[in-house]
């Protein structure tokens, strides 16, 4: 079973990397971009097939390691 | 002073730290591998040194913070043992929950490697008793992620409880945006935990302890720890 954990910075946390990317896009002439925030995506292959259990596993993974909840939010998706 | 230096894969300042500790305390520190589950008997001070543990993968310090030895460090700290984290060590202490907040990418995105001035905010802690309150010291920094950040309430508490021990400043001790090298909240360079026995700081006091280094301003931190422990004994 495949799953995805997406980690994003919380609102209000300064993101200098996102800002640099935003500025680079603007200097490349890509119009219509208001702002950029950078995050991380983890594509995970799960060992079991139980969907409810999978969500608990992913949540534990995110809480214990993948995200630092001081500054980051995360979203888990079981893709099937 | 019996000290123990934690060693993680990718750490590279452990020998500088060992040299500084040996020089100032007169005792050779123990090197403790990350997979250990206990600290040497009678350890007075645990040091988490600088470097790039696990290649800074995921987030700086995130993987090291979950190493087996960190449970022993948490237990040691909860008994009141002294813990010092420098640079990557500060990042590891934040990721492990021993200190609040996090070190973000430097505001101007550059890796900063040069001497900085720090104002010692108070002298009545084990980590600053070798200095006077308000004293300005010069020590090197070498980091890309040293921009201290925490939620407003945490920063307010740190300030209210006098837990900011070191702050980036001008050579004469002024605080301001121009001297805040990495954009840290309140120009924070080093903080202690609530109990006052765990310090994390981005600059490297261990690199300014001998005349050959061109400056010995970092000695005071280690000498202060030795004096604190002698007095406690």
ipTM greater than 0.90: no
Measured in whole angstroms, the distance separating CA B73 from the mean position of its chain's CA atoms is: 15
Residue A15 has pLDDT above 90, yes or no: no
Tokens of B139: 């020590």
- The per-residue pLDDT for B232 is 82
Least confident of B120-124, B150-154, B190-194, B219-223: B150-154
CATH architecture of A2-78: 2-Layer Sandwich (3.30)
The CA distance from B222 to the nearest CA of chain A, in Å, is 31
Two tokens at A4? 């995805």
Q: How far apart are CA B10 and CA B50, in angstroms?
A: 9
CA separation for the pair A56, A7 (Å, rounded): 16
* Mean predicted confidence (pLDDT) in B33-48: 97
Q: Residues with Cβ < 8 Å from A72, sequence gap 6 or more? A: A7, A8, A9, A10, A39
Over residues B61-102, the pLDDT tens digits come to: 999 999 999 999 999 999 999 999 999 999 999 999 999 999
Averaged pLDDT for residues B21-38:
97
* Catalytic residue, candidates B87, B95, B145, B169: B87
Structure tokens belonging to residue B105: 């990418």
For B164-170, what is the mean pLDDT? 98
CATH class as words, domain B3-232: alpha beta
* Per-domain boundaries in chain B: 3-232
Instruction: pLDDT band for A1, please (50, 70, 90 cuts).
Output: very high
- Rounded Cα distance between B126 and B96, Å, is 22
More confident residue, B109 or B211: B211
Mean pLDDT confidence for B145-149: 96
Say how far residue B80 (Cα) sits from the centre of its chain.
17
Rounded average pLDDT over A13-31: 91
Which of these is catalytic: B179, B204, B208, B228?
B204
B95 vs A: CB within 8 A? yes
Residue with tokens 């600088």: B50
Asked if pLDDT for residue B47 goes beyond 90, the answer is yes
User: Per-domain residue ranges for chain A?
Assistant: 2-78
The two structure tokens encoding residue A55: 């969500």
**Residue in chain B lying closest to A42 (CA):** B58
């Amino acid at each position: 079973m495949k799953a995805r954990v997406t980690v994003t910075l919380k609102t209000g946390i300064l993101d200098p990397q996102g800002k640099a990317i935003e500025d680079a896009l603007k200097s490349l002439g890509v119009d219509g971009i208001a702002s950029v925030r950078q995050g991380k995506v983890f594509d995970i292959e799960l060992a079991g097939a139980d969907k409810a259990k999978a969500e608990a596993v992913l949540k534990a993974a995110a809480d214990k390691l993948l995200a630092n909840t001081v500054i980051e939010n995360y979203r888990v998706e079981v893709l099937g | 002073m019996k000290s123990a230096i934690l060693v993680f894969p990718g750490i590279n300042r452990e020998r500088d730290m060992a040299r500084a500790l040996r020089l100032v305390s007169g005792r050779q520190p123990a090197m403790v591998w990350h997979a250990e589950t206990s600290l040497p008997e009678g350890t007075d001070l645990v040091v988490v040194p600088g470097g790039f543990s696990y290649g800074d993968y995921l987030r700086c310090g995130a993987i090291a913070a979950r190493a087996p030895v960190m449970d022993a460090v948490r237990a040691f700290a909860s008994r009141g043992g002294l813990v010092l984290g420098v640079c990557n060590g500060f990042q590891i202490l934040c990721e492990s929950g021993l200190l609040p907040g996090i070190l973000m990418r430097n505001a101007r995105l550059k890796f900063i490697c040069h001497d900085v001035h720090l104002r010692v905010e108070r002298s009545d802690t084990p980590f600053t008793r070798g200095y006077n309150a308000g004293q300005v010291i010069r020590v090197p920094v070498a980091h890309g992620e040293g921009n201290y950040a925490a939620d407003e309430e945490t920063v307010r508490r740190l300030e209210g409880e006098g837990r900011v021990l070191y702050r980036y400043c001008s050579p004469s001790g002024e605080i301001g945006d121009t001297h805040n090298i990495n954009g840290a909240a309140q120009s924070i360079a080093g903080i202690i935990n609530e109990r006052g026995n765990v310090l994390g700081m981005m600059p490297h006091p261990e690199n300014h302890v001998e005349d050959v280094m061109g400056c010995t301003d970092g000695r005071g931190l280690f000498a202060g720890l030795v004096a604190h422990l002698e007095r406690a004994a």
